[in-house]
Structure 1
Amino acid sequence: MMEETMTINRRSFLASSIAALAAPALTRTAFAADDGWPRRPLTILTPFDVGGSADRMARGFAQYMPKYLGKPVQVVDRAGAGGMIGTTWFMHQPADGYTVMLTPATPFIPVNILVTNAPYKLSDMTFVNAQWKDDTVLLVPKDRPWKTAKELIDAIKASPGKISTGVDFGSVGHITTMALLDALGLKPEAIRIVTFDGAGAMRTALAGGQIDFNIGQVEGADFIKDFIRPLALFLDHRRPDYDVPPINEVLADYHTSVPIIPGSVRSFVYRAEFKAQHPDDYAKFVAAYRATMADDGFKKFLADNRMGNDWVGEEETTRIMQVSFDTLAKYKDLIKPS
């Protein structure tokens, strides 16, 4: 009887051990079958240079999103032609969700379509969320003599072709610069225009005094605030944290005004086919995205870098894109490719 009991116990032990060893494998198999996408790392494509706002934001997501996505995230920068080179490359990637673009979707995508004949249209894309929007500001290096926007404008008028500015082709700053010259009755040749392929390099040039002024983004310029002086905001109201007037208050002395064009809006963008063909996988990305935005570490990263953390969703972001497209269509003739 004792021998029989020991045999049964050994059999029970072996059966239990085999079941225990098999369980993790069965669990992993069941999890993989249930989990599906993503099965490999994701790539965030930014169509601008390293160091720009989209690149810095993407690297924050690459650090914090894997926790919620379940796979690593890498960042690739493909700059050129005001974002069109990288965006065109992105639109040729498989619509499987493994490549997502993070970009200042407006104004660059509308400008690429309207001005530089990009081989895509708004309806080819899904705009996930307008997470971060910047205001536009007129800036000069601190060592320049102009203390007000009027002083700078008068200096441009007095010495045509002498004063330089930097533009990131197709940006709100570029369009606004041309609109300002047009409102003042000045031709583009009234200033020396230096074109940069990305806001990061342009801000570095401004901080180093290599250009005389720039119309750029408020939050983006915060990193060089010790080296620059704001002169005017391109808003229809004042900001409590900026002791400078709205530009159209300044232009009242010249009996003119400029259109207030909405600032850059950063958004994740997918090819429209991804959501249409793989709605469940798209929903997983959105869920991981929203969880990342709620992560305390990521929120601190955004706050430290003066980046927005808004959730307006796909429908509202698509509306913003269309409004921007319609607005920029009115001013497309003010800019042209370099």
Structure 2
Amino acid sequence: MLRINERLACLLALAIPTLCVAPIAQAAESWPGSKPIQLIVPYANGGSTDLVARQLADAVSKKTGGHVIVENRAGASGMIGSSYVHRQPADGYTLLLGTVTSHAIAPSVTANLPYDIVKDFTPITTIGTIPDLIVVNPNLGVSNLSEFIKLAQSRPEEISYASAGTGSSSHLGGAYFAAEAGLKLNHISYRGSGPALIDVLGGHVDMMLDVVMTSLEPVKAGRLKALAVTSKERSALLPDVPTVQESGIAGFEAIIWFALFAPANMDPALQTRIAQAFDETIQEPQMKELLLRQGITATGTGPAALAETVRQDTEKWRDIAQKAGVKPQ
């Protein structure tokens, strides 16, 4: 009898893993199914991340036959939306469109970050990268970055710059630029890049680091003056605008990336399935061209490369925050 029980136990031990794996594999294969997918944007409606999310949601919905719904949960430089996502089940139906702000800069500028950027999320893929433009209101009366620096040096703490919020990429990028240029600027924080840009356009704030996507049209219309681009190469959309490095600040680079994350502990098969669906969509010629017209270089790197990007940029922005004197708040 003991031998029979031992044999039965062995058979059960072999069968249980198979029984567990089957529903997991089935869940990955059936995604997205008929259930709506929440794509959480942790920033305000109308900003650069929101625009990318809506274009991507539409394209992925058409490709997969699923239904991707964009939902804005703005506030605290992306922390509110990111915190919401990490508390959801890792079933593939709640995803986050995170950025360098929420998943690389945040640990260096936030004293009590409500999530761990590595432990609380599953990396899916990098969507694309885009540089900032240093833009000013034309009424400021400067035509290039050197003139702006001279003006700001003559008026310490009087020249203001807007950001999408304390701890955002536009805040830390502005602090990075000010530190490298030896300037003392007055930081004005907003609840998202959209409201910040509106006040620069209105002349209420002097300067902002804003992504090419949302600054391009105002620059072309003459409502903003582009002084420099923050990448190491010029933007194809504004080839006459020099880089910050060309303007005299050696080694300066501040690149924004958009990436897809899911809650932690997602099954690898489902992670791969979602990454493949988004990567294939991102790499479609029509989608790549659509993103490029807005200054975004499409990537679609997959989970491992995104995890490495997060690691490297977390170290980079931690060093920048320390050098710029930006303390966690």
| TM above 0.5 | yes
Match of 2:81 in 1: 86
Query: 8 Å contact 1:172–1:261 — kept in the other structure?
Result: no
CA contact (8 A) 1:131 1:309 kept: yes
Of 252, 258, 268 in structure 2, the residue corresponding to residue 260 of structure 1 is: 252
**% identical equivalent positions:** 24
Where does residue 158 of structure 2 map in the other structure? 162
Match of 1:293 among 282, 285, 291: 282
2:7 aligned partner:
none
Contact 1:232/1:247 (<8 A) preserved:
yes
Q: Partner of 2:140: helix, strand, or coil?
A: coil
Matched position secondary structure for 2:297 = coil
Measure, in 2, the Cα distance between the counterparts of 1:52 and 1:294: 23
Q: Corresponding residue for 1:243?
A: 240
**Structure 1's 258 and 180: CA in aligned 2 closer, same or farther, altered over 3 A?**
farther
Give the match for residue 224 of structure 2.
Answer: 228
SS of corresponding position for 2:163? strand
Q: Distance in 2 between matches of 1:147 and 1:222?
A: 17
Which deviates more, 67-76 or 51-60? Answer: 67-76
1:171 aligns with 2:163: no
1:38 is matched with 32
- Structure number with greater Rg is 1
Residues 122/64 of structure 1: CA separation in 2 closer, same or farther (3 Å cut): same
- Give the alignment of 1:174-189 within 5 angstroms: 174-186=171-183
CA distance in 1, matches of 2:244, 2:124: 32
Specify the alignment match of 2:127 in structure 1.
131
Which region of structure 1 is more displaced relative to structure 2, 218-227 or 49-58? Answer: 218-227
Cα distance in 1 for residues equivalent to 2:297 and 2:284: 14
Matched, 1:99 2:94: yes
Query: Partner residue of 2:145?
Result: 149
Contact 2:61–2:68 (CA under 8 A) maintained in structure 1: yes
Gaps of 5+ in 1: 1-31, 252-256
Greater mean deviation of Cα atoms: 61-70 or 296-305:
296-305
**More off after superposition, 39-48 vs 58-67:** 58-67
CA 258–171 in structure 1, closer or farther in 2 if over 3 Å, else same: farther
| C-alpha distance in 1 between matches for 2:294 and 2:179 | 34
CA distance in 2, matches of 1:182, 1:96: 43
**Could you say which structure has the higher helix fraction?**
1
Say which of 199, 208, 214 aligns to 2:202: 208
Q: Deviations over 1:223-280 (max 9, x none)?
A: 32222111123344555643243334544xxxxx465244111011112311xxx333
Aligned pair in 2 of structure 1 residues 184, 261: CA closer, same or farther (>3 Å)? Answer: closer
1:270 is the counterpart of 2:259? no
Q: Measure how far apart 1:120 and its partner are.
A: 2.4
How far apart, CA to CA, are the structure 2 residues paired with 1:85 and 1:300?
Answer: 32
Superposition TM-score, scaled by structure 2 size: 0.79
Measured after TM superposition, the shift of residue 301 of structure 1 is 4.1
Tell me the distance in 2 between the aligned counterparts of 1:83 and 1:77: 10
Partner of residue 110, structure 1: 104
Contact kept in structure 1, 2:28 and 2:270, CA below 8 Å? no
What is the SS of the residue equivalent to 1:55?
helix
Q: 2:8 aligns to what?
A: none
For structure 2, which runs of at least 5 residues remain unmatched after alignment?
1-25
Q: Are the structure 2 counterparts of residues 82 and 250 from structure 1 closer, same or farther at C-alpha, using a change threshold of 3 Å?
A: same
TM-score w.r.t. the length of structure 1 is 0.77
1:317 aligns with 2:306: yes
